[in-house]
Structure 1
Amino acid sequence: MPEIVPCKGPLGARIEGLERCRAGEPEMAALLNRALAEHLLVVVPGERMAPADTLAFARAFGTPRTQLLRYKRNGDVPEVSIMVSTLMADGSTDKTAIRAEDWHTDDSYFAVPAKATLLHGIEIPSRGGSTWFCNMHSAYDALPEAMRRRIDGMRAIHGYDTPRARNRPSARTAQEIAETPDVEHPLVRTHPETGRKALYLNPNRLDRIVGLERAESDALLDALTDEARRPEHHFGHVWQAGDIVIWDNRATMHRVVIDYPEGEPRVMQRVLIEGEKPV
């Protein structure tokens, strides 16, 4: 059986000795999903894979779904997105790469966000470009009891683009705009598998707290985000070509460090796994 090796940090584990072609077997899939729920972040080292093989591996975690932006979808395997974050001197870098530098969780602008995200490293720069992850259970637990009582039961508005985001997102087509009205989610989310509570934040998509004036809402969101930015909640993954990294969007945020050399390709395959409505 593969070995689950916890990472040295507040979240994350490596799966050693896994034959990726066996990930879909019931026993292996159960092991992988237990590791994801417990550690929130799973790293599976190995060789580069074709999009169809990446999709087959991702099915061990649930049902893959296509992402919103059509231009990122792989033509032959649309459930796999091709994420290019190469830094170009002419400024043509994909806006997604720049926005990814701030902490965020994937798909919170949908009423039913993705359970998990799988990222597979295809082309990796010679240095830099680590992806950092934040344990949002840990961030919630670190709050003073009075703050936890205050925010339990609060709800917040998420949108594709909000005034609080530091950078603007990629443009949407008319169809994509119609598919992404603003949505409302709990500010504190309960993990459906473990029952643990987590802050559900997304500085790129979170607009305001329902029922509060803008100034009070901004101050509270800033205070909660400040806690999540504390390094004791974080773990950084240094990429090797061929790595597969899966994280639980229900209890994590993540960001990329844009410190890699200009012009060196940084290309990933990404698969989103269907989730459930946050509660």
Structure 2
Amino acid sequence: MPKTLRPKERTPALVRPDALRTSLGVEPLTCTIGAELAGVSLADAARDDGLFAEIKSLLLQYKVLFLRDQDITRADHVAFAERLGPLEDHPVVGSDPEHPGLVRIYKDLDSAPEHYENALHTDGTWRENPSMGAVLRCVVSPPVGGDTIWVNMVEAHRRLPEHVRTQIQDLRARHSIEATFGAVLPDEQRRALAARFPDAEHPVVRTHPETGEEILFVNAFTTHFVNYHTPANVRFGQDYAPGAGHLLNYLISQAAVPEYQVRWRWQKNSVAIWDNRSTQHYAVQDYWPAVRRMERAGIVGDRPF
């Protein structure tokens, strides 16, 4: 089992300089998050231990990686993603019949605009074990628009005012699929979804299990704090309601700070690989009625601590 790093043991992800010179190219896209890789095929990386290890280390360092011209098969896509861990299904979005866990996010001409992706979110925090990450490939891109934004939530936590970091260190919050995906369903289906996936409770500040980094871990699926109502926080009722809500909204709003973001322009056969534990993302829906088809392999994660 890999050693779990506490924040005081935090170490950067490192890649051998000679390996980068002789194999894949790395171009950082912003000062805080994201890098584009060149000279590599994910089909090869799925079968090459050394190449995969380089990519995994870069993922921990940059939090989201981008590649162009990945004309690979669905089997290759799945094979690479499975190097990161077992794939997970999705209770709302369908998977490819021949490749379970490869979720098809198809926005075709007969699709009305949907508004669950164009919110800053971390995948699956309504699960007890949210996603570890994902490998997303563009199959059909609109001629313009349809970008995706990723956010470094380690940086968002690091740059909070010190008194806020102290206040939230031990807070926990509830995350809900019923209040998000389920909100558009008929009542009976919404309740069935909630019964299948009861609200999950996670720390507001989680620790990355591999790097030891502290992460601000609230997003569009977060509904409320569960342990805010204490004598230290509440003098009168309004300190809790709306006081707790104001604090939660403030924390959620940190993902909108441009200095923590990278924005990616999709093309056919381009790929994004992201660490879901330390990021949020936002799928910009400015292209309808044009078509965008994406295929995503999400990786099962661990329980946040």
- Fold similarity call, TM over 0.5: yes
C-alpha displacement at 1:66, in angstroms? Answer: 1.9
Distance 1:173 1:27 in 2: 45
Q: Which amino acid aligns with 2:59?
A: L
* 1:54 Cα offset (Å): 1.3
Matches within 5 A, 1:74-153: 74-86=96-108, 88=110, 92-93=111-112, 95=114, 98-153=115-170
Q: Which amino acid is 1:210 matched to? A: V
1:226–1:87 CA distance, 2 compared to 1 (3 A) = farther
Other-structure match for 1:221: 248
- Residue 167 of structure 1 deviates from its aligned partner by 9.7
In structure 1, give the amino acid aligned to 2:91: L
Residue 79 and residue 51 in structure 1: after superposition, are their counterparts in 2 closer, same or farther (change >3 A)? same
- 1:128·1:259 contact (CA, 8 Å) conserved in 2? yes
Out of 73, 81, 88, the position equivalent to 2:95 is 73
Distance 2:152 2:102 in 1: 26
Flag the 1:35–1:184 CA change in 2: closer, same or farther, 3 A. Answer: same
Q: Secondary structure, in 3 states, of the residue corresponding to 2:242?
A: helix
Consecutive unaligned residues of structure 1, counting only runs of 5 or more, are none
What aligned pairs does 1:50-69 form with structure 2 within 5 A after superposition?
Answer: 50-69=73-92
Whether the 8 Å CA contact 1:48–1:121 is kept in 2: the answer is no
Kindly indicate whether the alpha-carbon contact (under 8 Å) linking 2:173 and 2:223 is maintained by their aligned counterparts in 1: yes
| Amino-acid identity (%) | 29
Gaps of 5+ in 2: 1-22, 229-239
Query: Is 2:300 the partner of 1:278?
Result: no
Rg bigger for which structure? 2
Q: Which runs of 4+ in 1 moved over 3 A?
A: 47-50, 165-178
Residue of 24, 34, 44 corresponding to 1:22: 44
2-side partners of 1:226 and 1:21: how far apart?
Answer: 38
After TM superposition, the score normalised by the length of structure 2 is 0.82
Q: For residue 236 of structure 2, what is the aligned residue in structure 1? A: none
Once residues 145 and 75 of structure 1 are traced to their aligned partners in structure 2, the CA distance between those partners, rounded to angstroms, is: 49
Q: Does 1:34 align with 2:57?
A: yes
Amino acid corresponding to residue 260 of structure 2 in structure 1 = H
Displacement of 1:166 in angstroms is 11
Count of aligned pairs between the two proteins: 269
Q: Is the CA contact 1:9–1:234 (under 8 Å) kept in the aligned structure 2?
A: no
Deviations 1:43-73 (A, max 9, x none): 122234332221112123222222223x511
Q: What is the distance in 2 between the residues matched to 1:214 and 1:273?
A: 37
Which residue in 2 is equivalent to 1:181? 198
Shift of 1:174: 7.5
- Structure 1 residue 176, shift from structure 2 partner: 4.6
- Name the counterpart of 1:191: 208
Distance 1:94-1:53 versus aligned 2 partners, 3 A rule: farther
1:256 maps to amino acid: A
Which of 201, 208, 223 in structure 1 is aligned with 2:224?
208
